[in-house]
Structure 1
Amino acid sequence: MSLNKLLAAMCACAVISSGFGMMTANAAPEISMNAKIAAFNQVHYRYAQVKDVNVFYREAGDPSNPTVLLLHGFPTSSFMYRNLIPILSKRYHVLAPDLPGFGLTESPPQGQYTYSFENLSNTIDQFTQVLGLKTYALQVFDYGAPVGWRLAVKHPERVTAIVSQNGNAYVEGLSDGWAPVKKYWEDPSQANRDALRAVLDVAAIKDQYQHGTPDPSVIAPETYLMDAAHVGQPANAQIQLDLFRDYKANVDMYPQLQQYFRDHQPHLLAVWGKNDAIFIPPGAEAFKRDLKHADVRFFDTGHFALETHLDQIGADILEFLDRTVKRN
């Protein structure tokens, strides 16, 4: 059985079991408040058809509460938020979709869908409309940042707050490790494209997870093994290489994004692994240049800060949302 089929089967079992629980609860003459809270805290695994993309997403929390939209990055999926969702869903409605080309989202092949950050953002924008979201707070990480930034620039009235976990918005945040990718931007030759394939290897993805962590043994190995198995598939590898090339469009839009920050002054919390070798601390500090009340906090870890500092970051995010997002 392939990794995707195995993951789909696991999620289907979770949906079926949660469905039986809901049927049992509905059959009862009364549902206690504790039972209602437990039902809302249950994470559900769903799909939403968004034009030609069948978007997989995780959902938890009371839909009458303010919504938080969690956008993952490369090379992972909504799985990276598996432990944060139960923390946030106690007080918020939480949605975490898999971007096209990642996780369990069923996406068209190359040629039938344009794998660019603009198009990924369009799909997620349409996803929010399919689910009927009027407003939402954004949590962005890595690739999720340029997707979320486009949502904010396009719909500033919908974004209630922003949490950036190593989600870059400034050239100062790009480390020297971007040199091979920049070379590909300048010369999109086959040789420069092929040179980036090593980034998709298990060893490189494992290093993304472990680099900068004081104790690499706390990183669950299934994280980088599942990511590598997915992005390393031949068809998906081509998608990832397309996105490497298109990342230049994100850097090009930084001035527009920074103007959005200055004009709209959204509430923003940056929670940043200070040892990140991909998006370095000056990128987090730069938020203060355009946002008067930017709250920037560093943690002694690397790129995947939630894998090592979940409790502290989760508490900080809750405190920030409680302070900035209006409740019904």
Structure 2
Amino acid sequence: MTAITYRKVLVDGINVFYREAGEEHEQTLVLLHGFPSSSHMFRNLIPSLSERFHIVAPDYPGYGYSDCPDIRQFSYTFDHLEEVVEEALNSLKLKRFSMYVQDYGAPVGFRLAVKHPEKITAIISQNGNAYQEGFTSFWDAAQPFWSNRNAETEKPIRQLCTLASTIWQYTEGVHDKTHISPDAWTFDQMGLDRPGNVEIQLALFEDYRTNPQLYPQWHAYFRQYQPPLLAVWGKNDPIFGSAGAEAFKRDLPQCEVHLLDTGHFALEEDADAIAQHIIRFLTTKVSA
């Protein structure tokens, strides 16, 4: 079993935590987490992949073990998260790599891909949306908040930071709730409950409106560069529906789409299946 190391790198005065394993391998896979999680969501996947690939999984500022600067000291936007991740990866001297994106990891990762297409060897999207088709009714509450942020429109967004909502994200749509470790939502909720973190999440959720505006750029990148793409998608996800996975075929006709009988955090009960898809995909579609 390849050992996992736990390190931090300083980016613009902020300590960015990351998990790393398999440094001896030529192919690198960067794992980009979603809300409200961190690299902790990859705790079961990393051991399965690190026998064959170099794995790097950072925590964004405000998440996991990375620093959590106040919103008055740090601009919590997806542009800024991408910049921090990019600098962290540069500090590790990563020139080319594949990336796994989930939820918030998609707007971070696709921004990076558009800026540096020469660095991206492949993309694995696990409920990481890039198309309007992926949005479900979950997003209905976002529109009033994006149009007119005030105390009233904030209420449903604040609810997303509660324990009940975090548990729902992990358990809705799964095929067996007894497979879902409470460690997952317990760890995430500890992060959300830190002083000032709810304001951080509100700022990022407000900025999420910038992501659909960038979809045409992302689609143009897909069409021009045709990166190998594997979509492994929890088809019962109440946040990003399976139509979002199928939509990749429009711009990437050679992509692979696998719909799994699980929810938003598919790794919680289908980590083995996802790992096998990734291993086969990266060893056959990508040269080191």
**Would you say same fold, with TM above 0.5?**
yes
- Pick aligned residue for 2:157 from 196, 211, 217: 196
Q: Shift in Å at residue 64 of structure 1? A: 4.3
Q: Does 1:219 align with 2:174?
A: no
**TM-score with structure 1 length normalisation?**
0.86
Aligned to 1:305: 266
1:90-129 deviation digits (Å, cap 9, x = unpaired): 1110000001110000142111110000000000011111
What is the distance in 1 between the residues matched to 2:131 and 2:100? 17
| Greater C-alpha radius of gyration | 1
Aligned to 1:32: none
Aligned to 1:170: 131
* Structure 1 stretches lacking a partner, 5+ long: 1-37
Q: Percent same amino acid at aligned positions?
A: 47
Q: Shift in Å at residue 205 of structure 1? A: 0.6
Aligned to 1:121: 82
User: RCO higher in 1 or 2 (8 Å CA, sep ≥ 6)?
Assistant: 2
SS of the equivalent of 2:128 reads: coil
Q: Does 1:149 align with 2:107?
A: no
What is the distance in 1 between the residues matched to 2:42 and 2:16? 16
Question: For this pair of structures, how many residues does the alignment match?
Answer: 288
SS of the equivalent of 2:9 reads: strand
What is the distance in 1 between the residues matched to 2:249 and 2:41? 27
What is the distance in 2 between the residues matched to 1:66 and 1:107? 31
The 5-angstrom pairing of residues 175-324 of structure 1 reads 175-324=136-285
Aligned to 1:82: 43
Q: Which amino acid aligns with 1:238?
A: E
**Backbone CA RMSD of aligned residues:** 1.0
Q: Which amino acid aligns with 1:186?
A: S
Aligned to 1:161: 122
What is the distance in 1 between the residues matched to 2:232 and 2:254? 14
Q: Which amino acid aligns with 1:108?
A: P
**As a proportion of its length, which structure holds more helix?**
1
* C-alpha contact (below 8 Å) 1:52/1:108 kept by paired residues: no
Q: Which amino acid aligns with 2:35?
A: F
Q: Which amino acid aligns with 2:129?
A: N
Q: Shift in Å at residue 63 of structure 1? A: 3.8
* C-alpha contact (below 8 Å) 1:170/1:283 kept by paired residues: yes
What is the distance in 2 between the residues matched to 1:49 and 1:125? 12
1:267-326 deviation digits (Å, cap 9, x = unpaired): 000000000000001100000000021100000001111111111111001000101221
What is the distance in 1 between the residues matched to 2:46 and 2:234? 19
What is the distance in 1 between the residues matched to 2:97 and 2:109? 11
Q: Which amino acid aligns with 1:68?
A: L
Cα distance 1:222–1:64, how it changes in 2: closer, same or farther (>3 A)?
Answer: closer
SS of the equivalent of 2:208 reads: helix
Q: Which amino acid aligns with 2:80?
A: N
* C-alpha contact (below 8 Å) 1:168/1:283 kept by paired residues: yes
1:122-151 deviation digits (Å, cap 9, x = unpaired): 000111111111011010000011000001
